[in-house]
Amino acid sequence: MEPHISKFVNVTKVTTHVLQEMKHKNEKIAMLTAYDFSMARLLDKAGIDVILVGDSASNVMAGHTSTLPITLNEMIYHASSVIRGVKRALVIVDMPFGTYQGNSKEALSSAIRIMKESGADAVKMEGGREVLESVDRILSAGIPVMGHLGLTPQSIHKFGTYVVRATDEHEALKLVEDAHLLEKAGCFGIVLEKIPAKLAAQVSSEIKIPIIGIGAGPNVDGQVLVLHDMLGITQEFSPRFLRRYNNLSEEIQGSVKAYIKDVKTVDFPNEREQY
């Protein structure tokens, strides 16, 4: 497949300013999650603009059924592994549940730990007005913050379900208001998850900072997917917005089965594979 020629291909390090420039020049931003050194290195070499060390690590790396259990120490471990594999991409780290909702002082010390101990470029937090004080405090310490609105998985027990958010007028109005508040506070971007495409397009045209969608339609400034979902490593999760680019679960299991057979039949190691 012919690679898309990006106007930003010569950028040696993607910064929040580069993302703003991409929005300005109508270049879509490509973002994926990663949680470890080897995958992050592959993504970076392939030219991904942004890597999110998502708290989806709680699901895809640790096997929990929600993002709530992952800890700050675990996120820092994943983030520092990712950072060691990345030269060009902007690396954003999710602040895990319980590390910023309590009070803004605690939020700031969580964000400082992430930045100091992992070497990340920015943090991401879920919520609008409710977390604004924490957003303000983190930003005033010079740490770039990305917002996250719509389906915010850390609030799954409040929502009760993973259905599309902001389909009613009240929730849609709150979402638009929250997006304006986050922009005014100084966030460098916002993720919009699983909301109607028309609403996402409205936010993206009203707001000057980059809007990254996941299940938010095409009329936003970029897209993000969970790496293990788009590679087909996970199979159970199949929302409408997910495009699978591979079926790695089958490929990996095929390779493992071939290896088991070779070991059992003493086909492996052969003469050239020994000393």
Q: Write down the least CB distance from residue 151 to ligand KIV, Å.
A: 9
Contacts with ligand KIV by CB under 6 A: the residue count is 11
Rg (CA), the chain: 20
Query: Is-contact 225 242, C-beta < 8 A?
Result: yes
Q: Which is nearer to ligand KIV, 105 or 248 (CB)?
A: 248
Strand partners, 115: none
Task: Measure Cα distances from 77 to 18, 81, 193 in Å.
Answer: 27, 6, 25
Q: How many C-beta neighbours within 10 Å does residue 63 have? A: 8
| Nearest position to ligand KIV, beta carbon | 54
Residue 229 touching ligand KIV (CB under 6 A): no
Q: Write down the least CB distance from residue 58 to ligand KIV, Å.
A: 8
Tokens encoding 199: 């609403």
CA distance 49 to 34: 13
Per-residue x/- track, 131-160, ligand KIV (CB under 6 A): ------------------------------
Region 31-50 residues binding ligand KIV, contact defined as CB under 6 A? 33
Question: Catalytic annotation on 193?
Answer: yes
Please pick, among 193, 206, 250, 271, the residue that the annotation labels catalytic: 193
Residue 214 touching ligand KIV (CB under 6 A): yes
Q: Write down the least CB distance from residue 74 to ligand KIV, Å.
A: 13
Q: Which is nearer to ligand KIV, 182 or 191 (CB)?
A: 191
Per-residue x/- track, 78-117, ligand KIV (CB under 6 A): ----------------x-----------------------
Tokens encoding 7: 């106007």
Q: Write down the least CB distance from residue 158 to ligand KIV, Å.
A: 17
CA distance 180 to 125: 15
Task: Measure Cα distances from 162 to 14, 20, 146, 217 in Å.
Answer: 32, 30, 22, 17
**Sequence-distant (≥ 6) Cβ neighbours of residue 179 within 8 angstroms:** 128, 147, 149, 190, 192, 203, 206, 207, 211
Strand partners, 52: 33, 92
Q: Write down the least CB distance from residue 100 to ligand KIV, Å.
A: 14
Q: Which is nearer to ligand KIV, 40 or 214 (CB)?
A: 214
Instruction: Give the interface with ligand KIV as residue ranges (CB under 6 A).
Output: 33, 52, 54-56, 94, 191, 193, 214, 224, 226
Annotated catalytic sites, by residue?
Answer: 193
